[in-house]
Structure formats: structure tokens, C-alpha cells
């Protein structure tokens, strides 16, 4: 069983994620409070070290969106192109099916080709682009919306 993370890496120096602040114990503790059996955090470890994570987060607090969650995946730069991201996202999709979710969405910066390829390869389809909806490093960033409709029939 993976250890509980007390800190999750972010990418404040790239537009791969639109985080602008380094995570703190307080901010990560708050983030974890919003994850539970329906919104899990999965962790990838190698030699006892956390090398990546994936999570499902609530898409909206409105009850009508309970069947939809947002997927996020992070892999340490030292482990890029090792297949960890694919394994994490595939495991997250399977968990979403088991939970009984209907739809999983992803928001990815339009310049993050690696993450766009990963989500598309795992079955997500583009549903639109939110023009200039993120802001980082003094400029606006387009964000691509992707979605996977889950077939929960067994």
C-alpha cells in the first residue's frame, strides 16, 4: 500500500500545470481533504520513492455533476517516457469505472503535447479549447478540454 504523501510536486516553472505557487504542507493538506473513495489519489513508486501520482477530483460542487470527475496526472521529470503516466491514467480510468462515474474530463495546456498525446492515447477525445483561460508567466494560455465517456456495462 502506498504511503500517504505529505507533499505533491507541482510544476511552477512550466505551463504544463497552471500552478503558480510552490505547494506547502497546508495547501497539500487542503487538497487531500477533497479526495476520498470517490475521488482517489493513486501513487506510483519506484525503490520506495514517489515518482508520480494521478487523481480524480470533483468537477463541480453541484450534485448534477456527481457522475463527472477531473483527471490529473503528474510524473517526475526523471521518469518521463517510462510508461508511468500511461499506467497511472489507465489505473485511474479503471478506478473511475469501478466507482461508477459516467464521464472523466481533463484540462491540459495547449502547449503540453506530451499530456495531450497521453490522454488521447487512453481514449479521451477533444471537446473544445478554452481560449486564453489560464494565465502564467505574464501571458494567457489556451486550455484544451478532453473527455472520456465511460461504458460501465460489464
Q: What is the pLDDT of residues 105-127, one digit of tens each?
A: 999 998 889 999 999 999 999 99
Task: Round to whole Å and give the CA distance between 128 and 86.
Answer: 23
- Contact status, residue 53 vs residue 74, Cβ threshold 8 Å: yes
pLDDT value at residue 21? 66
- How far is the C-alpha of 15 from the C-alpha of 37, rounded, in Å? 29
Q: Give this prediction's pTM.
A: 0.81
Question: pLDDT tens digits, residue range 40-93?
Answer: 999 999 999 999 999 999 999 899 999 999 999 999 888 989 999 999 999 999
| pLDDT over 90 at 148, yes or no | yes
Distance CA 93, CA 60 (A): 19
d(CA 69, CA 149): 11
pLDDT attached to residue 28: 73
**Residues paired with 103 in a beta bridge:** 68, 149
Spell out the domains of the chain, with CATH numbers in brackets: 25-149 (3.40.630.30)
Q: Which of the four pLDDT bands, split at 50, 70 and 90, describes residue 95?
A: very high
Amino acid at each position: 500500500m502506498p504511503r500517504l504523501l505529505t507533499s505533491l510536486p507541482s510544476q511552477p516553472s512550466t505551463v504544463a500545470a497552471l500552478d503558480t505557487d510552490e505547494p506547502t504542507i497546508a495547501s497539500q493538506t487542503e487538497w487531500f481533504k477533497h479526495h476520498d473513495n470517490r475521488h482517489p489519489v493513486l501513487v506510483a513508486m519506484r525503490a520506495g520513492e514517489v515518482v508520480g501520482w494521478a487523481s480524480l477530483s470533483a468537477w463541480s460542487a453541484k450534485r448534477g455533476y456527481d457522475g463527472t470527475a477531473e483527471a490529473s496526472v503528474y510524473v517526475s521529470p526523471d521518469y518521463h517516457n517510462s510508461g508511468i503516466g500511461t499506467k497511472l491514467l489507465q489505473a485511474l480510468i479503471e478506478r473511475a469505472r469501478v466507482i461508477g462515474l459516467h464521464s472523466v474530463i481533463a484540462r491540459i495546456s495547449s502547449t503540453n503535447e506530451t499530456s495531450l498525446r497521453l490522454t488521447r492515447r487512453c481514449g479521451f477525445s477533444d471537446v473544445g479549447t478554452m481560449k486564453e483561460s489560464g494565465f502564467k508567466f505574464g501571458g494567457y494560455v489556451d486550455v484544451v478540454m478532453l473527455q472520456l465517456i465511460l461504458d460501465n456495462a460489464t
